[in-house]
Structure 1
Amino acid sequence: MIDLDIYSLIGFLGTACIIGAYAYLTLKDAPNAFVLHGTNLAGAGLLTISLLVHTNWPSLVLEGFWAAIALVGITKAARTGRKGQEREA
């Protein structure tokens, strides 16, 4: 049996957030930018907490970039006032 500590469980929750956000982006015709980027940011934050305890430097750097991209997306959506992405016909 595998013993998982709280930090591993937090990391799995972060992974679920990022996978969920990607699925949402893929399946939704006009995804809400705040939901998409907010979920990605939450996932990156949770994974970062896990990685600070169970250090994996390449993954920790990846989460930093993931969080930065999510913050840019949230900022862009807030500036333009657009919640969803419009599809081109």
Structure 2
Amino acid sequence: MIGLDWATLVGFVGMGCIIAAYAYLTWNEAPNPFVLHGTNLLGAALLTVSLLVHTNWPSLVLEGFWAAIAIYGLAKAARGRRQGRIERPEA
């Protein structure tokens, strides 16, 4: 497998997380913000690992913003849960 080292594979997993989060948001009537933003944050983190090995500055900056937005979303959801504005998902 030419070009598929460990960092590239980690990047592909990160890409899959971000695509899965977007699909979850699109297909779910009431997405759980912790699942949505947590999956986006994981994807951004994994892509960042890949990009630190195979540097692509525009993509690395994009992942920084992607992670920051996901962290903001998680913090907002946590504040909402503490204030009783977000219902807990049913098990």
Same fold per superposition (TM over 0.5): yes
Listed one character per residue, the Cα deviations across residues 41-86 of structure 1 (whole Å, up to 9, x for unaligned) are 00000000000000000000000000000000000000010258xx
> TM-score scaled by structure 1?
0.90
* Within-5 A mapping of 1:14-53: 14-53=14-53
Tell me which stretches of 4 or more aligned residues in structure 1 moved more than 6 Å: none
Write out aligned runs for 1:1-89 (5 A).
1-81=1-81, 82=86
Q: Structure 1 residue 2: deviation in Å?
A: 2.5
Report the alpha carbon displacement of residue 31 of structure 1 after superposing the two structures with TM: 0.2
Q: Is the contact between residue 32 and residue 83 of structure 1 (CA under 8 Å) also seen in structure 2?
A: no
Partners of 1:17 and 1:2 in 2: CA distance = 23
SS in 2 for 1:31: coil
- Give percent identity, aligned residues only: 70
> How far did 1:36 drift?
0.1
May I ask how many residue pairs the two structures share in their alignment?
A: 84
Task: Output the CA distance in 2 between the equivalents of 1:77 and 1:32.
Answer: 9
Question: CA RMSD for the aligned pairs?
Answer: 1.2
With over 3 angstroms needed to count, the CA separation of the structure-2 counterparts of 1:52 and 1:43, relative to structure 1, is same
Counterpart of 1:19, as a letter, is I
Taking the aligned partners of 1:35 and 1:17, their CA distance within structure 2 comes to: 11
The change in CA–CA distance for 1:83 and 1:32 in structure 2 (over 3 A counts) is farther
| Cα distance change of structure 1 residues 73 and 16 upon mapping to structure 2, 3 Å threshold | same
Compute the TM-score of the two structures, normalised by the length of structure 2. 0.88
